[in-house]
Each structure stands twice: as structure tokens, then as C-alpha cells.
Amino acid sequence: MSEEKDTSRGQGFIQVLHSNWMAWYAMWFLVAYFLLVAGSMAFIDLNPYDQQTMDFFRPPRISFSFSQGLSKFILGTDDLGRDVYARLIYGARNTFLYALAAAVISSLAGGLVGFLSALYSSRLLNIIRILVSSVRSYTPVILAFAIITVLGPSLKNAAVAIAVSLIPRFTLICHEITTSEMKKEYIRAVMLDGAGTLAMFRLSLFPNIRDVLIIQFTKHFSMAILDLTALGFLGLSAEAQEPELGSMIAENMDMLYTGNYWIIAIPGVAIISFVIAINILSDGIRNALHRENL
Amino acid sequence: MILILLRKSAMLLLSAVILLLLTFWFHVRSNDLGDQDLFLRFLIYLNRILRLDFGFSAQSSRPVSGEFLEYGAATAELCLAAMIPSLAAGFFLGCFAALHKDRWLDSAITNSSIMFSSIPVFWIAQIFIALLAVRVDWIPSNGRISLLYSTEQITGFILVDTLLRDGFGDSFLNALTHFILPVLSLSILPTTEMIRIVRNSLYSVMQQNYIKAAFSRGWSSWYIIYRHGLRNAMPSILAQCGSVLFLTFTSVIIVENVYNWPGVGTWIIEAIRSGDVNVVNAYLVLVGMLFVVLNISLEFAADLSIIYLNHPGRGRSTPS
Amino acid sequence: MALLDIRNLSVRVGPGRDALTVVDRISLTVNEGRILALVGASGSGKSLLMQAVMMLRRDNISYSADRFKLDGEDLLKIPSRKRRRIIGQNISFIMQDPRQSLDPTMKIRDQIYEVMPRIPWYHVLSRLKNFFRRTRSKTAAALLHRSGIRDHERILGSYPAQLSDVECQKIMLAIALASKPRILLLDEPVVNLETASRLQVLKLLDRCAKNDRTAVVVICNDLASVYNFADEFAFMYAGQIVERGSRDRILNNPRHPYTASLIRTMLELGRNGRLKRYLPVLSGKHPDYRSMPVGCRFGARCRRARRECNREPEMIISKNEQYRCHFPLEDGALYEDE
């Protein structure tokens, strides 16, 4: 039993990805995305706040000449004359970083409660777990309403709201998978060999549930992105000038009726391609591992 | 059974208390009741909540609970209209995918549901406006009904109202065309979520030997799914159905804002923007309570289905 | 005429170009009233062959055969839906773990009713409903009784989790026999049972072969459990049938070295009734399908292997023996190594 179970340990994350070409390309897409955002911020002089008073609402145009280099506004300007490319890059950084932070915080906190309460079945920990899981009925948006009305809209508050509302999900998953895994023979064998709880967790349990956790984390990340952009769209996350992908779409909603769809299409494509890549990645990992029931 | 009922009601009570504490924190922070006795304030607050008295809206100076009912009917109508077809469609597509596992039909359904679930609902809603309402002026994209028709309320559900008033006439058709875009954009996410849930839970059941044995007897696939597959997958499907509801309730806020639907979503966003504390408080209490009750009753239904379908392990019929 | 006649059936597993040929050009005939035991190591393709016969596995699997005739009708030439129905009516299949093959959420009663001939709806609606219910439960009890269950009242009202392994196996037999199949396939029917109940199940199988003229095919990896029960044997090794023949011929004069080694491991005592001097261990391991050896697949483990064994042996078919070996054992050579 233990032999059979522990085969997943030798299999690296990269090999798992390599066996599924869609997930493999999705990973490279994410890397390229990261490089594009980081490179643009490092090497190109971008200003997402500056308003070109004479030059607003210019459509995207890419032209290149050796004397002047790349044309100035490759994705055009919005209705206030701000560089859409600059806003896109800074918006992507803001959105994805805050979403990542929310996902990381919620996974860490949720994982801590879930694992501890499953490993050490003490009464206090169980009470904490039940308290945490009783908050699972709140969606991020509703929690954000409360937090933002009191503290005022900002990206940080929105991220906190999302993180808090994602904690119960992760707690539940960690608790369930740990308890079901603890019943298996190989854990019992390790415990009989004299391993302490922590050693057992680190050496046997965690390597076996690591893949599930990775998949859940990517899922939470994509959920956090969608929720954060939704809050931004509702005007509840970023402050007025702060670039954010969701609020970029909201700012230019009226432009729909003038027939200039590109200004909405650009940030939308930026969000969708990122989230699709993440979802394909997590689905690819899951299929490669044949863990169906997640 | 009684034990489960007790456990679930304890959970309900606990969640409700936590919700009330949260909203009370909100109440205290927003009304600046710094140095008063908190416990006393909480009792007063609780008393008001139990009488469903949320004060008056600062914008319209009408009672908040009355306004909530009015807007809630519009939202409920939209949610129902979107959720019923999407639950059904997601259910059948999920069954199809589980039945044709690892073949082109499954991968088509699964991959397209991943694609669609990655699209933010506010973006797809605007693309619908751009393509169907602006470029080709087919469908209206604003509000519940054209201003030409009178909007006196009977039940609050506009389709029912127009039917009651004018029968199957122009106003009903007009209201119906107003429904198309919001329902379309609202139903995408629940459908994909339902597909995922049904496919995953049904597939793990379809791998079992008793399903293979049933297939070896030459029965039709749909009979096997109905008779053995769903019977075994139902608790797991029911337990996960909550996420479909929450997804719908979250995205309905956005959809209402895009299409100017006069529902709870536009109401609350207006209130947050203008700092209307009473409205936000009422929203938090009422919608939060709705979520808690729905969630726990779904879990209760899942546990009941375990007993009713005699699943081994939990709640078996052997008395102890 | 043979009931089931398979000629050169190959089963390939895996997608497209990387597919592995797991079952390789197998020919089998199954006759009425005979018990055929399909013996081979685990991983030799026995279960896959049976699932191929039932057309159960459909994902990532491709079949090809020169002939696949059930009662004179070639199944590969008719549409798949009709094929599944014909197979379902004529062949019953019992899978390895009987408890897993019963729906855990249904009472045994309902699962048996399900396989019995359906009562038309107008009967159900009519006043005869109660009458039909009574006959139905009587038929179910009779079915259970025939497969050796005495306390059918208790069995009918309980769930699979409440029953023992042998009871589950008997119920599976009752369910399999309810549709009056021409062929009964069993995948390791006795592997998890203790000796007494093992004999009960085997006796039942023997009875339905002799009385009902059902063709019984038993898969097993342990020759000892079925050797005096089957009429014919087929030995599989690495996806091929290496030897086939009647019981007396196989047990006394095996031709293929693999068969001989299996029979030797089964016999606890030597020829003269004395204890063996050595344990008849077959060394080496079953080849991997990814890297199948050239030539004879048993060559690497065969003590008689010579240069000619690098060429793949053909199936040699004579009057009452079939084997796939260049250097078959002669009569009485079974004990020559001792």
C-alpha cells in the first residue's frame, strides 16, 4: 500500500506539466506574461497617470521607424488622454499582485487551521475550525461591501475582503483531505515506525497531498482575480486614478455606445487570457495526476 | 436524522450569530457609537433586526425593508430566470461529459466550460451590449421594460405583472426582450460550475465496478446514469450546489449594474457610493442571512439524501 | 459448432501512435457446457481480454480481429448499440470483487428485480399489481436459492455492505444467471474466498455448466484453485496464449515450458510421493509491454531456450493440442528436471 502511494513523490512538478501540452503552453504563457509586465515596467518609461490634453481617445496603432523608435501610444489613449498600454501594465501588476496576495494569505491561514485541527484533534482547534467554517456562507463581494463602506475603497481593503472570504474554503479542503489521508495504511505504517506528528506530516502526508494543494491554490488564485476585478468594476477596489483592470473597463463603459470596442476589449483580454492560462494549468495538473474528484 | 437536524440548526444558529456580530461591528463603526455600552447596544440592535426595522434610506427617505422587498423581487426574478435553465443545461452537459469521458465530446464540454468560467461576467455582459444591442439594434440592454408601458406593481415579478395586466401582449413581449441579455450573461457562470460539479462527481461514480457490471448487461447508458450513477453521485452533487447559488448571487450584482436592472445590486452599489449606511446594513443582514440559510439547508439536503438513498458509511439504516 | 469463436483478436491500449498491443492475436473457442480456465500471471492480459469480449472498456482502446463470432453472428460487423445488446443478453460477466459490483445504495432485492424480465406498465397499474409483486419476489427467491442461498429473506432485505464476500459472490451469480446467459465469464471468482466457500462457488459453476449447458470461462492466476474443476485450459503469457488443451492432456503432458513450470509449482510432492528436493521457482519476471523481447516472449525465463527462440514461435495446432513453442516438452518430460 505504502509503495503504491508514494510513487507520486518522485514525480516532479515539471514532469507532470510536460505530459500535458496544454498545461505546458499555459505555463509558458504565464511566464511570458510576467516577463512582459516586469520588462515593460523596468525598461520602458511608462506613466499611467499623465493626461495628454491634446491627444485623447486615440485608437491603437503600432508603427516603427528607426529614427523615432516605436510609436508612442501603441494601444492608444483613453478618454482622458492617458496611455492605455501604461495603464494596462500597471493595472495588471496591481490586480494580479493583490489577487496573489489574497490567495496566498487565505491559503496559508486556511491551511494552518485545517491541518492543525486535523492533525491534533484538540477541542480548541476544532472549535476554531467550526468558527472559521461557519463564515463560509459569505461571498467576497458581500464581505467587501461591509469592509469598504467602513474603511473606504482601496485595493488593499478589497484584497483583505477576498482573502477572508476564501479562508473557510481552504480550511474545509485541508481538513477533509488530511483526515481522509490519515486513515490510509501508509500513514499508519509511518506512525507505527515511530514518526512524530510533525515528521509524519512533513515526510509522508504533505508530499502526497501537495498536488491537491497546488491545484486548489491555482483555483483560488483565479477566483481571487475574478473577484478583485469584479470589485474594481463596481468601483469598490481602486481609488480614482489608480490603474486596475476591472476599473479600466468600468471607466470606459460609455465608450461602448460610440462603437469603440477596443478600449474595453483590451483589458478584458488581459484578464481572460491570464485566468484561462491559470485554469488550464490547474486542470492539466489534475488530469495528469488522475485526481478526478476535486 | 434528528441528530443531523440538530447539528445543522446549531450550525445555523452559530452562523447567524457570527453574521449578526459582523453586521453589528459594521453598525458600530458606521454610526460612531464609541463610548456606549456595547452589550446594551447589541441588544437594542438585535431587537430592531428581529422586527425587520432597518431605519430609513438616506436617499429616498423610505423604509429600507420595503425598498428591499421591491428591489428583491426584480433580482429574484432575474436569478430564477437565469438559474433554472442553467442548472438544467449544466446538469445534462455534465452527464454527457461524464458518459463520454476522455473522448472528444467530453473534452469539448470541459474545455469550453473552463474557457467560459474564466471570462469575467462584467466583460461578457458589455460585449453582449456592444454586439447585440449597439452594433445590431436587436435587443434592448437597459432596464426591465420600456418606459412606454406603465409599471404598476402587482407581484413585483414583471413578467407576471405584464401578463396579468395586458395578457400575452406587447408589454409582456417587451419585458421578455429586456430579459434576454441579463439572463444570457448571468447564466454562463452557473452553467459552467454545474457542469464541473456534475461531471466530476458522476465520473468518480461511473468508474465503479457496479456501473461496469450494469454496462455489461447491455442496458442503455441513460438508464444506468439515472438508476445507478445519479443515485450514488447525488449527495456529492447536492453538497457542492451551494457554490452555484453563490456564484449566481455574486454575478447578479454585476449584471444588474451593467444593464441598469432596478434590483438589489444597483440599489446597494448606489448606497455604498453615497454612504447610505442603513441600506448597506440591511443588505448585509438580509442577504447574509439568506446565504446562511440556503447554504445550511443545502447541506441538510445532502445529508438527507445520504440517508434516503442509504449510502453506506454515514447514517446507515442499522440501528445502534 | 463453437458458441464463441474468436480468431486473432488483438487489443491495443493507449492513444494513437503510442498504443501498446496488450492482447496479441488470440484465438479462442468456447463450447456449450464446457468450463474453460484461462490461467496466467497478473498482467498477462487476461482481464483485458475478458473486458474486450464484453466490449466494456471503450476509452483509449482499439480492437481488431479476423473473426469474432457469437453463435454464428460476427459481432464486429454490426452496429455497436446492437452489439452491446446482443452481448448483454448472451454473455454474463462477473468482475473480480463481487462486493464492488453491487450498487452500495440499493437493497439486494431491487438489484435482483432490476435484472429480471420487466413487468409491463399496464400490469403494474392494474389490479394485478400485487399478484405480480408476489410472483416477482418468488422468482427472486428462486434465483437466490438456485445459486445456493438458503436464507433469502435476510439477503433480499439487506445492503451489500452487510453481507459477506461469499454471499456477494453468490448474489452476483444469481444476477448473472437471471438473464439465462449462454456464456458466463468470471474474473477471479474465488480469489478472496476461503477454501470451503471456494468449493461451494466452484460447485455451483460446475452445476450450471453441466445442467444448463452454459459455457463457463474462468480467469484465474492460481492454477491450484481450479485444476480439477475445468474441462479445458488456456495459458496466457505476455498477451499471448501459449498453450491450450484439455485437462488430462495439460496436467499430464504439458508442452510449453511455462505451463510445465506452473504445474510443477502446483504439485507439492514429486513424482514418487517424496518431498521435492528444491522449490520449483520460476525465476525472472513477466516482460513489460513497453519493451517486449524479440522472438519468444518466454525466452528470457526459459531453461530450454536456444538460438532459434529469437524467432517468434507460431501457434502449432494439432488434433488435440495447441502450443506456441519451438522446443516443446515430450510426453512425460514434466518431471525430468528432478
Cell numbers for A121, please give them. Answer: 484533534
Q: How far apart are CA B309 and CA C99, in angstroms?
A: 18
Residues in chain B: 320
- Are C193 and C269 part of one and the same domain? no
C246 inside domain: no
- Are C26 and C73 part of one and the same domain? yes
Q: Cβ(B285)–Cβ(B23) under 8 Å?
A: yes
C60 inside domain: yes
Q: Cβ(C217)–Cβ(C185) under 8 Å?
A: yes
pLDDT tens for each residue of C311-331: 888 888 877 788 888 888 877
Q: How far apart are CA A289 and CA A99, in angstroms?
A: 26
State the residue range of the domain holding B241. Answer: 64-309
Point out the residue among B208, B217, B312 whose CB comes nearest to the CB of C159.
Answer: B312
pLDDT value of position A10: 43
* CATH tag, A82-293: 1.10.3720.10
Interface test with B, best of A22, A145, A169 (most B CBs within 10 A): A145
Q: Is the Cβ of C158 closer than 8 Å to some Cβ of chain B? A: no
> What integer is the mean pLDDT of B67-87?
89
> What integer is the mean pLDDT of B120-144?
80
Q: How close B212 comes to chain A (CA, Å)?
A: 18
Cell numbers for C8, please give them. Answer: 486473432
Q: Which residues of chain A have pLDDT under 50?
A: 1-10, 291-294
pTM: 0.83
State the residue range of the domain holding C333. Answer: 257-338
Q: Does position B172 have pLDDT exceeding 90, yes or no?
A: no
CATH code: domain of residue B86: 1.10.3720.10
Q: What pairing do the DSSP bridges indicate for beta strands C232-237 and C240-246?
A: antiparallel
pLDDT tens for each residue of B13-41: 888 888 888 888 877 777 766 666 778 88
- Which residues of A, range 144-183, sit inside 8 Å of B by Cβ? 145-146, 148-150
Q: How close C268 comes to chain B (CA, Å)?
A: 36
C239 inside domain: no
Number of domains composing chain C? 2
Q: Does position B90 have pLDDT exceeding 90, yes or no?
A: yes
Q: Does position C46 have pLDDT exceeding 80, yes or no?
A: yes
Cell numbers for A118, please give them. Answer: 486535523
**Gyration radius (Cα) of chain C, Å:** 22
Average confidence score pLDDT of chain B:
82
Per the listing, cell 453491487 goes with C102
Find chains touching chain B: ≥3 CB pairs under 8 Å: A, C
Nearest Cα neighbor of B252 from B243, B241, B242, B265 is: B265
Cell numbers for B132, please give them. Answer: 447585440
C22 inside domain: yes
Nearest Cα neighbor of C324 from C311, C336, C337, C306 is: C311
pLDDT value of position B91: 93
Q: Does position C270 have pLDDT exceeding 60, yes or no?
A: no
Q: How far apart are CA C167 and CA C155, in angstroms?
A: 8
Q: Does position C272 have pLDDT exceeding 80, yes or no?
A: no
Q: Which residue numbers of B have CB closer than 8 Å to C's CBs?
A: 101-103, 208-210, 212-213, 215-219, 227-228, 231-232, 309-312, 316-318
Cα separation values, C238 from C40, C43, C285, C292, Å: 9, 7, 11, 9
pLDDT value of position C59: 66
pLDDT tens for each residue of C227-263: 778 888 899 888 888 888 888 888 888 888 888 888 8
Nearest Cα neighbor of B199 from B312, B94, B275 is: B94
Q: Does position B103 have pLDDT exceeding 80, yes or no?
A: no
Cα torsion C282, C283, C286, C292 to 10°: value is -120
pLDDT value of position A176: 85
Residues in chain C: 338
Q: Is the Cβ of B208 closer than 8 Å to some Cβ of chain A? A: no
Q: Does position B58 have pLDDT exceeding 60, yes or no?
A: yes
Q: How far apart are CA C99 and CA A157, in angstroms?
A: 54
Q: The complex's ipTM?
A: 0.84
pLDDT value of position C274: 61
pLDDT value of position B320: 28
Point out the residue among A149, A257, A293 whose CB comes nearest to the CB of B204.
Answer: A293
A-B Cβ pairs (cutoff 8 Å, strict): 131
Q: Does position C24 have pLDDT exceeding 70, yes or no?
A: yes
- Are C55 and C199 part of one and the same domain? yes
Burial class (CB in 10 A: 0-12, 13-18, 19+), C195: exposed
Q: Does position C335 have pLDDT exceeding 80, yes or no?
A: no
Contact C104 B312 (CB under 8 A): yes
Point out the residue among A136, A256, A283 whose CB comes nearest to the CB of B130.
Answer: A256
- Range list of H helices, C126-278: 129-146, 152-156, 165-178, 195-212, 247-252, 257-266
Q: How far apart are CA A207 and CA A209, in angstroms?
A: 6
Number of domains composing chain B? 1
**Dihedral sign from CA coordinates of C151, C152, C155, C158:** negative
Q: Cβ(B16)–Cβ(B296) under 8 Å?
A: no
- Are C276 and C224 part of one and the same domain? no
B38 inside domain: no
Indicate the domain borders of chain A. Answer: 82-293
Amino acid occupying residue C193: L
pLDDT value of position A16: 64
Q: How far apart are CA B146 and CA B155, in angstroms?
A: 18
Q: Which phi and psi angles does B118 have, rounded to 5°?
A: -90, -5
Q: How close A252 comes to chain B (CA, Å)?
A: 11
- Are C51 and C180 part of one and the same domain? yes
Q: Does position B313 have pLDDT exceeding 50, yes or no?
A: no
Q: Cβ(A23)–Cβ(A281) under 8 Å?
A: yes
Q: How close B110 comes to chain C (CA, Å)?
A: 17
- Are C198 and C266 part of one and the same domain? no
- Side-chain half-sphere exposure of A278, counting CA atoms within 13 A: 26
Choice between C106 and A102, residue whose per-residue pLDDT is larger? A102
pLDDT value of position B190: 93
What is the share, in percent, of chain B residues with pLDDT greater than 90?
Answer: 10
Per-residue confidence band for C128, with pLDDT thresholds at 50, 70 and 90: low
Nearest Cα neighbor of C114 from A9, A5, B214 is: B214
Q: How far apart are CA B243 and CA A165, in angstroms?
A: 13
Point out the residue among A137, A149, A250 whose CB comes nearest to the CB of B280.
Answer: A149
- Are C275 and C223 part of one and the same domain? no
